[in-house]
Amino acid sequence: MFEVVTVKEALHRIINSVIDMDNEMEEVNILQALNRITGEKIVSSEVVPHFSRSTMDGFAVRAEDTFGASESMPAFLDIKGEINMGEEPGEDLKAGETMKIATGGMLPPGADSVLMLEHAEELDEKMLACHQPVAPGENVILEGEDLKEGEGVLEKNHRIRSQDIGALAAAGITRVKVLAPPRVAVISTGDELVSPGEKPKPGQIRDVNSFALAAAIQSAGAFPILCGIVRDEKSLLREAVEGVREEASLILISGGSSVGTRDVTAKVIDELGDPGVLVHGISIRPGKPTIYGMARKTPIFGLSGNPVSALVTFDIFVAPLIYRLRGLEREEIIPSRVKARVSRNIPSSQGREDYVRVKLEKEESGEYKAVPVFGKSGLITTLVDARGVICISQNKEGLEEGEEVEVILY
């Protein structure tokens, strides 16, 4: 079967095929938690901060003692000392008194605000002139204002960012339960392939896809399993798939996706269990012969042996599935994009989405120019030279020089 579907329809079939899949959890130190997905709601067991503190260098005061103060008629306060960082104040603050305090210093009992240094004048060691009133709570963070005991720090299925790790540390949480990363197996097929460490003989080429796809898998937050090179025989491919199926959350087969006598990937997927092949052919360039299917509960992709095609289709179809397996919704992953104007006319055919590799050049005006990186489909260096891709929709016959486009950055 080779029924070409749109990119939108292919993505719909791919993502919906794994909606009911469960994820295992593991506990990790917060230093290993960046970009991981929370497996449960994380709550604080204490208040943050656990004391009221100043957000400015200045003087701890009772706000009511400053009401009505101005440059011409300052309020006068008795200086009762200085609050040292990391220490409790030695005494309570009474009416008409103040204490010098640094940013982050603990507010003394009785004080409810901080007067900024710029609005204060030390007349001598014992007397302060306040030239501006402050409101209660001004320039301070109150005890428990950031987090209360039992309050949620992070929700379940939240992708942990650097600021989230800071919040966890503030709450004294050093270990969290996160979803285990998907394990993605990569099987390269082809009688002509040899490992990168070997010198190819005439007619042979090095296995690029295993290593490029493994790196892409890691970039998407999953763990790659390299299964080596398999010859173009159905029995050997089936044996390789069955050998890794228990271990892998997802299997990528590179090669064997085009129509022809060596099209064994689709046959193997169909033989391994229902529902079998769900997509075989997508209206996209590069990557038209891409295959996707489910062998019982194992999702399997058949990607082109062409490295450029394999990596482009990985970004469009495989990465969103990995995000879903990680516990993320696709719309949560927003690729970096920049506006640019194409440097020349770019032809395209209606009826398919065209992904064109481009370099970016910055103009004197500050605008970017998208320069197409043309080259034969098997040239991996065209991806090395490119900064990203632009998508020409299936309803357009190309782009005109100077037309504004969005560049999806690698």
Domain of residue 72, CATH code = 2.170.190.11
Together in a domain, 326 and 188: yes
Together in a domain, 199 and 57: no
What Å distances lie between residue 287 and 159, 190, 302, 313, CA to CA? 30, 18, 10, 6
Together in a domain, 200 and 167: no
Answer whether residue 2 is part of any domain: no
Residue-level pLDDT at 124: 92
pLDDT at 260 over 60: no
Together in a domain, 221 and 275: yes
The 10 Å Cβ neighbour count of residue 223 is: 15
Answer whether residue 18 is part of any domain: yes
Per-residue pLDDT, averaged over 248-268, amounts to 77
CATH of the domain at 42: 3.90.105.10
Which domain-ending residue is among 332, 363, 395?
332
Phi, psi of 116 (to 5 degrees): -65, 150
List beta partners, residue 101.
58
pLDDT at 262 over 60: no
Residue-level pLDDT at 90: 82
Helix H or strand E segment including 240: helix 234-244
Per-residue pLDDT, averaged over 383-403, amounts to 89
Answer whether residue 221 is part of any domain: yes
Together in a domain, 272 and 234: yes
Together in a domain, 166 and 238: no
Residue-level pLDDT at 153: 94
Answer whether residue 363 is part of any domain: yes
Pairing of strands 127-130, 58-61: unpaired
Phi, psi of 117 (to 5 degrees): -55, -35
Per-residue pLDDT, averaged over 66-79, amounts to 95
Q: Which domain holds residue 154?
A: 27-48+146-179
| Separation of alpha carbons 181 and 302, rounded Å | 21
pLDDT in tens, 38-66: 999 999 999 999 999 999 999 999 999 99
Answer whether residue 222 is part of any domain: yes
pLDDT in tens, 357-370: 899 998 888 899 99
Residue-level pLDDT at 333: 60
**Global pTM?**
0.77
Contact 337, 31 (CB under 8 A): no
Together in a domain, 198 and 210: yes
Answer whether residue 1 is part of any domain: no
pLDDT at 261 over 60: no
pLDDT at 2 over 80: no
Nearest-CA neighbor of 307 among 252, 263, 261, 352? 252
Together in a domain, 80 and 190: no
Together in a domain, 204 and 300: yes
Answer whether residue 168 is part of any domain: yes
List beta partners, residue 311.
none
Contact 359, 290 (CB under 8 A): no
pLDDT at 67 over 70: yes
Number of domains in the chain: 4
CATH of the domain at 221: 3.40.980.10
pLDDT in tens, 103-155: 999 999 999 999 999 999 999 989 999 999 999 999 999 999 888 999 999 99
Which domain-ending residue is among 179, 203, 236?
179
Together in a domain, 71 and 116: yes
Together in a domain, 89 and 198: no
Together in a domain, 34 and 152: yes
Listed range (44-53, 205-214, 218-227, 374-383) with the worst mean pLDDT: 374-383
pLDDT band for 26, please (50, 70, 90 cuts). very high
Which domain-ending residue is among 114, 141, 168?
141
Nearest-CA neighbor of 127 among 102, 98, 90? 98
pLDDT in tens, 325-379: 988 765 456 668 889 999 999 998 888 899 998 999 988 888 999 999 987 666 7
Token pair recorded at residue 24? 């295992």
